[in-house]
Amino acid sequence: MGNLIGLAAMVLAVTAGIMSFGFARGFVRRRLRFVDTVRSPGVPVLVAVVAGLLVLPLTLLPLVSGITAAAVGLGAGLGTRSGVKALQRGDVVLR
């Protein structure tokens, strides 16, 4: 039973990290394409820290751990960086 709960927690952490990556990348590409501050090298780090801190209170829930908060932070930071690189290449979503 313990292995099943651990597996579910791991799947939740990976899924949350992937979803935060996609959300952050899309948000930067769609909404922040005209904001010059997002191109600063420290913004992805700031986004990662803030996203991880926002998820941290959810660690009181049974399946959410500190690893999940770290995965969300890492995904959001990497997604922000990927969105900025896409903007620099000219990949713009016009929706």
Element (H, E) at 66: helix 66-89
Q: For 80-95, write each residue's pLDDT tens digit.
A: 999 999 999 987 767 6
Yes or no: say if 4 and 65 are a contact pair by the CB < 8 Å rule.
Answer: no
- Predicted TM-score (pTM) of the model is 0.90
What is the crossing angle of helices 2-30 and 66-89, to 10°? 30
Q: What percent of the chain has pLDDT over 90?
A: 87
Q: For 4-52, write each residue's pLDDT tens digit.
A: 999 999 999 999 999 999 999 999 999 998 999 999 999 999 999 999 9
What is the crossing angle of helices 66-89 and 43-55, to 10°? 150
**The token pair that represents 43 in the structure block:** 């913004």
Angle at 87 between CA 35 and CA 28, to 5 degrees: 55
